[in-house]
């Protein structure tokens, strides 16, 4: 390796590894363990619970497409009124995102399922559903199969508001039961609102990816020759949402769709060609950044792609350089635990993230 390459790489490594120093004294950090422990003690941080963010409505719709559902709870007691619920679920590390959405609607309760470490935000206030949830999804319609879940749920809610008096209740309950059988995983017919797929707002895709997307780096192989360092952008959906993924692929005009051979009915949209990632995917998500944990994944993923482009060398020393220096740095950087959650900040820009990596 000549002196120029050594000097160039030393500078690059210095800049790259500096991001690995965790700023543990930063007042904005809250540990993931603290989230679970304090939730059970009913002592979640006030700053965390008061998180706010100026969401685009399209981001909320996209995130709902990935992580939301529209549900009706029915009691065996005919005198008990149906309960209409809008719910969003996410891993506990994204509680900051759920808290911010809760405050966006000024309503809702958070529940933790300990065995899966999944938080669910549930909104069941009739006033909020009527004045906030329904106007949002009527004005900014869903684009996948969940759209018809919403329409069925919305129409059932309107029927409920008009006929919840005792004289009309029995017939109402029977109609609601029929609607419930057509919701979410219970429905037997899957349709897509084709007219909604002509155009995508960038914030919708950002919200969708913040739920069902991933930015990954292959770090298992021992060498680049065997696949180390492959970077992938992926969105996973049920096969019923194939048309939605096809139109997202059409929007980006790169990548391909394929069915998962080991998981029945799972469809993936994948982009892995470096040129496509650098020219199309990275600029898009810099303009419409994912939020929450996915913002950290994206930043680290993008940094590794940029680092690989600048740092891989050619010549007789290439293999020793890559295997002994480059690979360990990338592997350590990617797997370093940087997923503690930020308080009061979902807009994770480069400067803020570099303090944490």
Q: What is the mean pLDDT of residues 335-343?
A: 54
State pLDDT tens for residues 208-242: 999 999 999 988 888 877 888 899 999 999 998 99
Pairing of strands 109-113, 231-238: unpaired
* Alpha carbon distances (Å) from 137 to 23, 93, 98: 40, 26, 18
* Alpha carbon distances (Å) from 138 to 60, 80, 132, 151, 267: 13, 28, 10, 9, 28
Cβ–Cβ under 8 Å, residues 206 and 155: no
pLDDT category at 132 given cuts 50, 70, 90 is very high
Cβ–Cβ under 8 Å, residues 198 and 54: no
Question: Backbone dihedral region of 80: left (phi > 0), alpha (psi from -120 to 50 degrees) or beta?
Answer: beta
Instruction: For the chain, give percent helix, strand, coil, nearest 5.
Output: 50, 15, 35
Distance CA 269, CA 126 (A): 37
- Give the best-scoring range by mean pLDDT among 4-8, 10-14, 221-225: 221-225
Residue 250: CB atoms within 10 A of its CB come to 10
Least confident range of 49-53, 196-200, 278-282:
49-53
pLDDT category at 345 given cuts 50, 70, 90 is very low
Q: What are phi and psi of 264, to 5 degrees?
A: -60, 135
pTM of the model as a whole:
0.81
pLDDT score of 325:
73
pLDDT score of 14:
34
Question: Domains plus CATH for the chain?
Answer: 3-25+200-354 (3.10.28.10), 46-142+146-189 (3.10.28.10)
40 vs 343: which has the higher pLDDT: 40
Q: What is the mean pLDDT of residues 291-312?
A: 83
Distance CA 207, CA 64 (A): 8
Tokens of 216: 């990954």
Length of the chain: 357
Instruction: List Cβ neighbours of 185 (8 Å cut-off, separation of 6 or more).
Output: none
Q: Give all strands (DSSP E) within the chain, no chain letters.
A: 29-30, 68-73, 83-91, 109-113, 118-123, 213-217, 231-238, 256-259, 266-271, 341-342
Least confident range of 81-90, 235-244, 249-258, 348-357:
348-357
pLDDT score of 195:
83
What residues are paired with 233 via a beta bridge?
215, 271
Least confident range of 9-13, 103-107, 117-121, 125-129:
9-13
Residue 283: CB atoms within 10 A of its CB come to 11
pLDDT score of 112:
84
Q: What is the mean pLDDT of residues 181-187?
A: 72
- Mean pLDDT, the chain, whole residue set: 78
Question: Backbone dihedral region of 86: left (phi > 0), alpha (psi from -120 to 50 degrees) or beta?
Answer: beta
State pLDDT tens for residues 76-121: 776 778 899 999 999 887 888 888 899 899 999 988 888 888 889 9
State pLDDT tens for residues 42-74: 555 555 566 677 899 999 999 999 999 999 888
pLDDT score of 61:
97
pLDDT score of 288:
94
pLDDT category at 150 given cuts 50, 70, 90 is very high
């Amino acid at each position: 390796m000549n002196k120029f390459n050594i000097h160039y790489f030393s500078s690059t490594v210095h800049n790259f590894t500096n991001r690995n120093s965790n700023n543990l004294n930063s007042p904005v950090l809250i540990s993931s363990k603290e989230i679970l422990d304090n939730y059970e003690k009913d002592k979640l941080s006030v700053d965390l619970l008061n998180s706010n963010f100026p969401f685009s409505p399209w981001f909320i719709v996209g995130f709902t497409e990935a992580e939301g559902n529209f549900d009706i709870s029915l009691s065996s007691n005919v005198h008990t009124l149906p309960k209409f619920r809008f719910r969003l679920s996410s891993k506990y590390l994204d509680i900051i995102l759920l808290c911010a959405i809760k405050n966006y609607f000024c309503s809702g309760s958070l529940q933790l399922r300990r065995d899966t470490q999944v938080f669910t935000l549930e909104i069941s206030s009739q006033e909020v559903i009527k004045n906030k949830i329904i106007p949002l999804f009527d004005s900014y319609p869903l684009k996948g199969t969940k759209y018809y879940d919403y329409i069925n749920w919305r129409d059932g809610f309107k029927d409920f508001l008009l006929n919840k008096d005792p004289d009309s209740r029995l017939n109402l309950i029977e109609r609601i039961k029929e609607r419930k059988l057509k919701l979410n995983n219970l429905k037997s017919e899957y349709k897509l609102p084709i007219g909604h797929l002509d155009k995508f707002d960038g914030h919708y895709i950002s919200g969708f990816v913040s739920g069902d997307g991933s930015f990954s780096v292959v770090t298992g192989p021992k060498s680049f020759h065997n696949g180390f360092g492959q970077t992938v952008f992926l969105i996973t959906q049920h096969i019923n949402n194939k048309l939605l993924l096809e139109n997202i692929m059409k929007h980006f005009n790169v990548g391909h769709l394929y069915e998962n051979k080991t998981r029945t009915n799972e469809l993936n949209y994948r982009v892995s060609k470096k040129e496509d990632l650098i020219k199309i995917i990275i600029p898009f998500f810099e303009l419409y950044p994912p939020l929450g944990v996915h913002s950290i994944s994206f930043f680290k993923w993008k940094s590794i792609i940029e680092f690989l482009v600048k740092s891989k060398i050619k010549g007789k020393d290439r293999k020793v350089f890559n295997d002994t220096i480059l690979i360990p740095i990338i592997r350590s950087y990617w797997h370093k635990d940087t997923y503690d959650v930020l308080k009061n900040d979902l807009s994770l820009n480069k400067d803020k993230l570099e303090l944490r990596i």
